[in-house]
Amino acid sequence: MMSIINLAESYAYLSVLSEGIAGTSPIGLLGAGDIVGTPIKDSAFAGVSQGMSYSGTDAISLADMVSSPDVAFSTMTSNFENSWQAMAIKSLGIKLTFKFGKKLLRGPIANVNRTVFKELGMGVKL
């Protein structure tokens, strides 16, 4: 049996992690890559490149991880260091919300499971 409520809880945790680390939603992780490197020119050395400047690092996708792994993972590390506390608080809030919500709505959830999902034989429950 697959539980719709447990899937929603798992997606909420995944959303907290992906937004805190990659700066995007779980669906945004599947998007196209947009990291672009531009050489930094130093005028004192007649246009010699002095490193790279990267744009598109605000939201990291799987394509970014494949095309520019060094930039993507350094950005993700920085994002994690800056947001781990907020992620922990959000995760605790999700845990408490689902725990007490399931207890509070136990009767209605059981009723829907018994009268709708069991009768349809869908292999899912609320």
Is residue 1 within 8 Å of residue 123, measured between CB atoms? yes
Q: Angle between the 4-21 and 69-104 helix axes, to the nearest 10 degrees?
A: 150
The answer to whether the beta carbons of residues 3 and 122 sit under 8 Å apart is: no
User: Which pLDDT tens digits describe the chain residue by residue (126 residues)?
Assistant: 899 999 999 999 999 999 999 999 999 899 877 777 676 666 555 554 556 677 767 888 888 888 888 888 999 999 999 999 999 999 999 999 999 999 999 999 999 999 998 888 888 898
∠ CA 106-88-75, nearest 5°, is: 135
- Global pTM reads 0.82
- What are the extents of the domains in the chain? 2-30+60-125
